[in-house]
Amino acid sequence: MEGGIPDVHLRRFPKFSHSAQRAHFGRFAILNFMPNKKTLLSHPIEHIDIKQHDVRDIVDAMHRMAYSSRDLARAAEIYERMLRDQECGVILCLAGSLISAGLKQIFVDLVRNNMVDAIVSTGANIVDQDFFEALGFRHYIAGDEFKSGMRDGELRDLMIDRIYDTFIDEEELRICDETTRTIADSLPTRPHSSREFIRAMGVYLEQQGKTPAKGGADSIVLAAYEKDVPIFCPAFSDCSAGFGLVAHQHARPDKPKVSIDSVKDFYELTQLKIANPTTGLLMIGGGVPKNFAQDIVVAADVLGTEAPMHKYAIQITVADVRDGALSSSTLKEASSWGKVDTTYEQMVYSEATLALPLIAGYAYHKHAHAERRERRWSRLLEPVTA
């Protein structure tokens, strides 16, 4: 080790020299050790804190360059612009495994600093990853040698789940599943929006003392509950909560049960658009969250209210436009559908862990949210769900 670079960052686990690794036992080649579970789960992912990194100057410099750097700088400015627009409600869309990748604190900070007013997400980000960490668990750094997937069979035997270069303890994840079942069992047996369920998860965290004030980790679910920022997961059974809810329903074969009504999600989000016509989208990844949030413009129209297109839109993605899929479809294309205005839109083709700290950090350090009022949109929805 020299210059302050710990070897552990370069190669996660102690390694023998190349020849030692390939010591031959007859015609068998020993490729590598398999460390035990505790060793494999010893380097937790740490979430980047945009408040610590003033990136204004570097983003401004990128403005006068080309390619993705200029796109990124433009996106950062559009985000700043939508925060300064006092009429504008900001909807954050999350797809991909973002929380496990170290981006959780950014979203918590956006919620706590009035930089986002509603969230539409895949279930995995909210339940399997954010709520999971709120329960006291962590994600772990996987060594480079696991990326190829050649050792996934061994990981399965250890009950370690892998997301690219990150590990999760499957036994802890089962506890998360179980907790969502407990929450389901506590709710009135009627159709709920995912938003209602996720709000109940926030209540649970508060009641159980899983809060920063009591030494716990901060979480999106908790912050959004405290700030009345509604969170929607339009495909809610497609996550850890799905397992809890299936178990809940399975235990009540002929009895009333909690159900998750995805129509109610769509209805509620549309109500927010109607109540606050000027909107901007900050999208990480594509998929269902992107489509769902874009569609509320049309849904408002279907309900007889002519709502304007989303005035601002940013999407960070690595998706490839050429397969015609929604994830990659350009924001210009969305304008043909009457969903997104094109004056202030920007696609940023980058993996999110690189681009988001710069975009969100730029807006934060520009104090774009300084004058911005809380929306507390969840309160608007309570009558709807009563």
Cβ atoms within 10 A of the Cβ of 199, count? 23
Q: Judged by CB, which is closer to a second copy: 3, or 215?
A: 3
Q: Which helix (H) or strand (E) holds 344?
A: strand 340-349
Shortest spacing between CB 226 and a second copy, in angstroms = 26
Residue with tokens 């730029």: 362
Q: How far is CA 259 from the centre of its chain?
A: 23
Shortest spacing between CB 172 and a second copy, in angstroms = 14
Active-site choice (227, 264, 273, 339): 339
Shortest spacing between CB 112 and a second copy, in angstroms = 19
Residue 234 in the binding site for a second copy (CB under 8 A):
yes
Rounded Cα distance between 267 and 145, Å, is 46
Shortest spacing between CB 147 and a second copy, in angstroms = 8
Residue 230 in the binding site for a second copy (CB under 8 A):
no
Residue 30 in the binding site for a second copy (CB under 8 A):
yes
Query: 321: Cβ–Cβ under 8 A, 6 or more apart, which residues?
Result: 328, 329, 330
23 by Cβ neighbours in 10 Å (0-12 / 13-18 / 19+) ranks as exposed
Site for a second copy in 159-218 (CB under 8 A): 160-166, 170, 177, 191
Q: Judged by CB, which is closer to a second copy: 80, or 211?
A: 80
Site for a second copy in 51-80 (CB under 8 A): 52-53, 55, 57-58, 61-70, 72-74, 77-78, 80
Rounded Cα distance between 313 and 328, Å, is 14
Rounded Cα distance between 124 and 379, Å, is 25
x/- track of binding to a second copy for residues 95-134 (CB under 8 A): xxx--xxxx------------------x-x----------
Shortest spacing between CB 82 and a second copy, in angstroms = 11
Among 34, 187, 203, 380, binds a second copy (CB under 8 A): 34
Shortest spacing between CB 213 and a second copy, in angstroms = 25
Among 352, 359, 360, 381, binds a second copy (CB under 8 A): 352
Q: Which amino acid is at 340?
A: V
Could you list the beta-strand ranges (E) of 67-141: 89-94, 118-121, 140-141
> Any catalytic annotation for residue 339?
yes
Nearest residue to 120 via CA among 220, 37, 244: 220
Among 335, 365, 380, 385, binds a second copy (CB under 8 A): 335
Q: What is the residue-wise DSSP string for 353-379?
A: HHHHHHHHHHHHHTTTTTTPPP--HHH
C-alpha torsion angle, residues 284, 122, 365, 140 (rounded to 10): -100
Rounded Cα distance between 266 and 262, Å, is 7
Residue 13 in the binding site for a second copy (CB under 8 A):
no
Q: Phi/psi of residue 113, each to 5°?
A: -105, 20
Shortest spacing between CB 207 and a second copy, in angstroms = 23
C-alpha distances (whole Å) from 145 to each of 34, 152, 310, 320 are 11, 11, 43, 27
Residue 38 in the binding site for a second copy (CB under 8 A):
no
Among 40, 41, 45, 127, binds a second copy (CB under 8 A): 45
Site for a second copy in 271-290 (CB under 8 A): 285, 287-288
Nearest residue to 202 via CA among 273, 108, 287, 280: 108
Residue 321 in the binding site for a second copy (CB under 8 A):
yes
Residues in contact with a second copy, total (CB under 8 A)?
Answer: 146
Q: Judged by CB, which is closer to a second copy: 122, or 211?
A: 122
Select from 130-138, 151-159, 203-211, 217-225 the region that touches a second copy (CB under 8 A).
151-159
Q: Judged by CB, which is closer to a second copy: 9, or 379?
A: 9
Q: Judged by CB, which is closer to a second copy: 94, or 110?
A: 94
Enzyme catalytic residues: 339
